[in-house]
Structure 1
Amino acid sequence: MDAAELTGTYTYRSFLELPDPVQDFNRLRFAQLELRLTAAPDGTVSGLLVFPAPPGTEAQAMVMTGQVSGSSPVAFTLTGKGRPGTPISDFHYDYDGIILHHWDTGVNQRTTLAGTVLRAEPHGTGENLAPAGQTAGFLAVKRNA
């Protein structure tokens, strides 16, 4: 596995870190988004984390920047920040992850990223304030090209 494998479009899902079993799996849901990444030969990573939008409206996105390090497993760090002048301009999240092992005998296995995410800065106001420090685990499954 090499860093170029990071390039692609993924279905990104992050999960709250609740230690007890839950009856409704949706209670674990932190986010489900589209992650688009490009890894350059020098190890830099760029892309977008795109939020779902109703038809006819513009999707909001965080600009993703980062670095690939290591080769077995491929490890990466990312920072996602909301675009200036958008409703999510105050979003700032940090990501630390790896590309999961690809089994030689696996059937229909997809490239999958796994890691943790940290809300690096608070966003929102009043009752909608999301404080800094929130963490979640994430998986991102690569889509077909």
Structure 2
Amino acid sequence: MDVAELTGTYTYRSFLNRPEPVDDFNKLRFAQLELRLTAEPDGTVSGELVFSEGEPGGDTIGMDMVGRASGASPFAFTLTGKGRPGSPVADFHYEYDGVILRHWDIGIGQLMTLAGTVLRAEDHGSGATLARAGQTASFLAVKRQA
């Protein structure tokens, strides 16, 4: 697989790793965002994880993403996400480790899907909204069609 195929816009969803069955799937929800990636032939990956579009004509609220991808089988990537200075998520820092899921030759309507784990690398927030470092979740990101 060519590393450049990673380039695109994805619907990103992360889930709390709860082993017990739940009666409401939303109890597993960690985040649902838009992931925009650009991959270069040398394996360099950059992009953004968008929380909100912000004001019309303004900057998006999100994290800048940087990392590396390997075209080897299985196709793997690592990303670091950090909130933009001066934004409501400026103190966010997350680490991502993932792979591209298998494409089935006879699959119907299958879209490229990234899967992996995410780690909150640093505390963010304060007081009642403090989110401690060390939290992990699983994620799926489904590539949108152009």
| TM-score where L is the length of structure 2 | 0.94
Aligned residues: 145
* 1:2 Cα deviation after fit: 2.7
Amino acid at match of 2:143: K
SS of residue in 2 equivalent to 1:51 = strand
Runs of 4+ that moved beyond 2 A: 52-59
Cα 1:144/1:70, change in 2 over 3 Å:
closer
Encode CA deviations 1:75-127: one digit per residue, 9 max, x unaligned: 00000000011111000000000011100000010000000000000000001
Q: Is there any run of 5+ residues in structure 1 with no aligned partner, and where? A: none
Query: Are 2:84 and 1:108 equivalent residues in the alignment?
Result: no
* 1:73 Cα deviation after fit: 1.6
CA contact (8 A) 2:37 2:48 kept: yes
* 1:38 Cα deviation after fit: 0.5
Across the aligned residues of Structure 1 and Structure 2, the Cα RMSD in angstroms comes to 1.5
* 1:72 Cα deviation after fit: 1.2
In the aligned structure 1, how far is the partner of 2:2 from the partner of 2:141?
17
In the aligned structure 2, how far is the partner of 1:64 from the partner of 1:94?
9
In the aligned structure 2, how far is the partner of 1:130 from the partner of 1:71?
35
Query: Are 2:40 and 1:76 equivalent residues in the alignment?
Result: no
Cα 1:20/1:36, change in 2 over 3 Å:
same
Q: Is there any run of 5+ residues in structure 2 with no aligned partner, and where? A: none
Amino acid at match of 2:110: Q
Alignment of 1:118-133 (within 5 A): 118-133=119-134
* 1:59 Cα deviation after fit: 3.6
Equivalence for 1:99? 100
Identity of aligned residues (%): 71
Amino acid at match of 1:93: Y
* 1:58 Cα deviation after fit: 5.5
In the aligned structure 2, how far is the partner of 1:26 from the partner of 1:18?
12
SS of residue in 2 equivalent to 1:107 = coil
| TM-score where L is the length of structure 1 | 0.95
